[in-house]
Amino acid sequence: MILEFAPDYFSLLTLPQAGGHNAPGPAIKQPELNIRQVGDLDTQDGKCIPGSAAVIPVSAERNLKTEYFSELEYADPLTGEVLRYSLFIPEQYGPGRKIPLVCFIPDCGVCSPDFSPRLIQGQSGVIWSCPEEQEKRECFVLVPHYHEAIVNYEFGATTALDITIRLILSLSEEYSIDMDRIYGTGQSMGCMAMLEIGIRMPYLFTGMLLSAGQWDPSRICILAGSKMWVLVGEGDARAFDRMNACMESLEAAGAAIERTVWNGQII
């Protein structure tokens, strides 16, 4: 082993107290790590960096994938509330070109008034901005930042959900976004929020990629003409049962549903 890390990195995450789905997200502490090179390190040019007992303190971290994003704020004209968000703008963007937009909403585990790893949760925000993906599928990437959960298990939503809709529409006016290619994706809270956005504005999203969530089967029929790829684990009792009920409602409304079962333990 070449590098030795201390203290326990997982102490950086302080879990919230019990409070249910609407409880505040985790408090994220700034990293305080010490690194020591305990063995010799051979470099690509044939040199050797000998091990040492010296300890190198680390008091900050960088995630290069997130640095492609700009941290911005949207002042909602109807409520006066401010919604923070991260936005990736394609490198070759120009006002004369229509470019798709992908909006990712994470789960409530990263809701926080301070620092939030929302961009890197499941890589669902940054995956669309990496150079390899941008070469194949150039797009804007939008990741809203919420202080608290914006939906609940009783199918209710806060004002932040409507503000998110207005943010997307505002960005489409500010940039040359292709309104025929706006895509929504999210997990858990994000999945539920995307479904409610779709119900309120059925023609906003060209397609949705949804994971680990559920919503109101009695109202979802309005999305019968929408394109969705939905992933739910059988072990997630609440989401699995309710999402299957949603699929049955969509089928009853005329949607063509194709079901596939995967073994998530197979690598």
pLDDT tens track for 164-201: 999 999 999 999 999 999 999 999 999 999 999 999 99
Quickly state the pLDDT bin for 10 (edges 50, 70, 90).
very low
19 and 129 fall within a common domain:
no
198 and 245 fall within a common domain:
yes
Question: Does residue 217 fall inside a structural domain?
Answer: yes
Q: How much is the mean pLDDT over the chain? A: 84
pLDDT tens track for 193-225: 999 999 999 999 999 999 999 999 999 999 999
Question: Does residue 190 fall inside a structural domain?
Answer: yes
Nearest to 29 by CA among 45, 49, 46, 7: 7
Question: Does residue 259 fall inside a structural domain?
Answer: no
43 and 101 fall within a common domain:
no
| Residue 51 domain boundaries | 3-58
Output the CA torsion 64→69→70→76 (10° steps).
Answer: -140
| Cα-based distances in Å from 250 to 133, 208, 228, 246 | 32, 15, 11, 6
Q: Following DSSP, what letter does each residue of 13-57 receive, concatenated?
A: EEPPPS--TTS--PEEPPP-EEEEE-S-EE-TTS-EE---S--EE
44 and 124 fall within a common domain:
no
Give the chain's domain count. Answer: 2
35 and 132 fall within a common domain:
no
Contact 74, 127 (CB under 8 A): no
